[in-house]
């Protein structure tokens, strides 16, 4: 089943990567399609590898009050840089500030994307809205 919300979030992540490359000297993107592929790989790594890394680094993350999460995001950004040819992150500090900037821009732009489901039963329509905790109301 095709979900348009995923494509919208993918484009938002692409825009965040392009914005970070525009503001930071250590992050270089050769074009839109490089940023699009970098966003796709970063999305896959965020789904597959990020939960494992968060679980493994849980004690450090608790001690730093969650700020170590940005280090994990920076590591994932550097991993994407190694895979995508047109996307380059020069050093760790650029990756750290880039991950911070991408997280902020991504959060702001995702605030405008609404998650809604519509159920039709017989002739009536029930519209549901996703809450922050993942439940539908």
Residue spans per domain, the chain:
4-129
Question: Could you give the CA distance from residue 20 to residue 32 in angstroms, rounded to a whole number?
Answer: 13
- The residues near 9 (Cβ < 8 Å, ≥ 6 apart) are 43, 110, 113
Of the chain, the percentage scoring pLDDT greater than 70 comes to 87
- The pLDDT value recorded for residue 42 is 92
- 108, pLDDT greater than 90: no
DSSP per position, 37-99: HHHHHHHHHHHHTHHHHHHHTHHHHHHTTTTHHHHHHHHHHHHHHHH-TTEEE-SHHHHHHHH
Helix (H, G, I), strand (E, B) or coil at 102: helix
pLDDT in tens, 24-76: 999 999 999 999 999 999 999 989 999 999 999 999 999 999 999 999 999 99
């Amino acid at each position: 089943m095709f979900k348009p919300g995923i494509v919208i979030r993918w484009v938002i992540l692409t825009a965040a990567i392009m914005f970070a490359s525009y503001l930071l000297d250590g992050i270089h993107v050769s074009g839109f399609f490089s940023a699009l592929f970098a966003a796709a790989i970063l999305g896959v790594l965020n789904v597959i590898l990020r939960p494992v890394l968060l679980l493994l680094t849980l004690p450090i993350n608790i001690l730093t009050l969650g700020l170590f999460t940005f280090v994990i995001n920076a590591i994932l950004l550097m991993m994407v840089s190694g895979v995508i040819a047109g996307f380059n992150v020069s050093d760790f500090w650029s990756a750290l500030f880039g991950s911070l900037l991408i997280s902020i821009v991504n959060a702001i732009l995702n605030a405008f994307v609404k998650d809604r489901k519509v159920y039709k039963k017989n002739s009536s329509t029930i519209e549901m809205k996703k809450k922050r905790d993942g439940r539908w109301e």
